[in-house]
Structures are given as C-alpha cells and as structure tokens.
Amino acid sequence: MEELIRLSHGDGGKYTSILINELFYKYFGNEILLKGSDSAVFSISKRKLAFSTDSFVVKPLFFPGGDIGKLAVCGTINDLSVSGAKPLYLSAGFIIEEGFSISDLSKIVRSMGQICKETGAMIITGDTKVVEKGDMDGLCINTAGIGVVENSYMPKKIKKGDRIIITGSIAEHGTAIALERYKIKASGTFASDCGPVYNIIRSLAPFYKGIKLMRDPTRGGVATALNEISASAGKGIRIYENTLPIRREVNAVCSILGLDPLYLASEGRVILVADPGMSQEILECIRSCKDGENSSIIGSFFDNGNSLVYMETEAGGRRLLNTLEFPMLPRIC
C-alpha cells in the first residue's frame, strides 16, 4: 500500500477498494461488514433500542493513552452505555485530507478495531471521502451506533438530596491533550482516561432503580455537564472541592498552563445521579470495577427554585461554577 492518502482513495474506485480491504476490513473485520453490501442488514428482536452519533476532529490526532479513532469509538459506545444500552453495531465515516499519512490512518483504524474487540461492539458499515489538500485539517471521523436497552434502565425525576457520583478521577483526557499540544513532558505513565464505560454501568444493574441519570462529562468537563443536569432538573447542585478525585499530574499541568480541571474533558468517566439511600452501595460497586477505583460522591442537589452549580471550596467559601462558554486556553495571567 502507498504512503499517503490521494483523492483517488475516496472516489469509490479501485483505490477505495484497496483502502477498504487492506485497512478497514483488516481491523474491523466481522461477518456483516465483510458482506460488503451498501447497507448492513441485521435483526434485533423486539427490544427497545438506543441510537447515537458523534463526530470527532480532535487535535492532536495522537495523545498519551489514545488517538482520534479510540475517541470516536468510545464516544459513541459511551453515549449508548449511559442511556442504559448495550452497544451492538456502529458505523464509521471518514473524511480525510489528501496527503494524510496512511501509516497514521492505519494506527487509528487499528485502535478502533481494538476497542470493538474489547467491548464486543462491531463496526458494520462505513464510508470514506477524501478532500483536496487544504480543504480540511487532517482527519474527521463520525461514528453512529445502535444499542439494545437492557434491564429497563430509565432516567427518573431528580429530587432534592439526590447524590452526585463520579466514577473516577477527572479531566485526564483534557490534560493529556494539553500535554501534547503545549509540549509538556509527563514523567511516568500519565494518559488520557479515554475508554469504554460499559462494564461499570452494567455492573450497576442491581441499582438501576435508584439511578436517576447518567451522563458522561466530555467537552466542557464536569462543571459544564453539571450545569446541563442542573438546568434540566431545575434544581441547584452543590459539590465539595475536597471530594473531587483529581490526579496530581492533572493539578500539575493545570497549574502550569492556567487551566481549570473542572472544565477539562473526561472520556472514560460517568456522572451518576443517585438516590441518597443507595449512593454508598453504588459507590462501593463502582470502586470494585476496573477503572472505578477513584470513584467518589462529590455533591448533591438542593432546591431553591433556581438551577445553579456551586462548589464549597477547601478554604471554606463558595465558588460559582458556570458553563464553559469558550474553549479554555492556557493563560499567563
């Protein structure tokens, strides 16, 4: 195979076939995909379905702990998982800039296949387009996915006193991206938390009746996700700074660059809203799962007729947490 993507790789002809066979089929290979039909055809017995889509244009394409491909697959798998669904089938659409390195594309596609193997989800259909050099920046991936809703998980009305739980330490993905972008070296094994959350959510099945909501804190971080939850519940949220699980490396990078971990993305964590009576058991259950060791109850809902999010700080004061309005950039001031 050649080294660089050319326009002919996207025109549906001979070179597209080569790309499909030698790259996508190689790493995604499954019965449905390998049929090579225009549409993937499959049956699902009379079950409630969940359907989600997401597009990814992250820069840099490769970061400690992952790449745009892993992010794209986990993104859709996790959106399905937090809706209480088991992810089954995905599509993957690629828009590639002419001149893109095929070796890089290969690494990205391989890591997508890896996540599928780990989770049992399958990429069963896809598309590739190539645009002229300069018309876009590198690579964009869209994934869409279908899952089957299991165990009758249903979001429920949030009440005053409901607890907020995070399944692990926060802001690791955003920090990993910042490390790459601003060329700061991390000693040790610090990496993005990008990964599937399905196993943790499945383990919580016995507690679904007490789980009111599940949300993954991606773009905009935990603070933005909490604002969205507060707005839709019409109730206020209070969290406690001393309960937030934040790794030392995250604090270090944020101090150096002037970023705020509350607004940096996590890509392998879930925010849960839970009945106060069940929160402790739910916490223990998550902590016994892989990647759930740092789970913590970080706050609760209050009702003063307003939706706002604030944090009780370690100094004993209060800090308002608004939604992130603009992408956070490093500061010197």
Rule CB under 8 A: is residue 249 a binding residue for other proteins? yes
What six digits make up the tokens of 239? 């969290």
Helix 102-119 and helix 68-81, axial crossing angle in degrees, nearest 10: 30
How many angstroms separate the CA atoms of 185 and 82, rounded? Answer: 33
How many angstroms separate the CA atoms of 70 and 66, rounded? Answer: 6
How many angstroms separate the CA atoms of 77 and 97, rounded? Answer: 26
Q: Count the neighbouring beta carbons within 10 Å of the beta carbon of residue 282.
A: 23
Residue type, 94: F
Residues between 176 and 205 that touch other proteins (CB under 8 A) = 182-188, 190
Minimum CB separation of residue 134 from other proteins in Å reads 9
Contact with other proteins (CB under 8 A) among 152, 248, 284, 293: 248
Minimum CB separation of residue 86 from other proteins in Å reads 38
Residues between 284 and 323 that touch other proteins (CB under 8 A) = 308, 310-320, 322
Coil, strand, or helix at residue 173?
A: helix
Residues between 255 and 284 that touch other proteins (CB under 8 A) = 255-258, 260
Stretch that binds other proteins, among 35-43, 80-88, 106-114, 246-254 (CB under 8 A): 246-254
The beta strands (E) that lie in 187-326 are given as 211-215, 236-240, 271-274, 296-302, 309-312, 318-320
Minimum CB separation of residue 170 from other proteins in Å reads 16
Taking the least distance from each CB to other proteins, the nearer of 31 and 305 is 305
Taking the least distance from each CB to other proteins, the nearer of 197 and 237 is 237
Taking the least distance from each CB to other proteins, the nearer of 127 and 314 is 314
> 255 near 188, Cβ under 8 Å?
no
What residues make contact with other proteins under the rule CB under 8 A?
A: 182-188, 190, 248-249, 251-253, 255-258, 260, 308, 310-320, 322, 325-326, 329-333
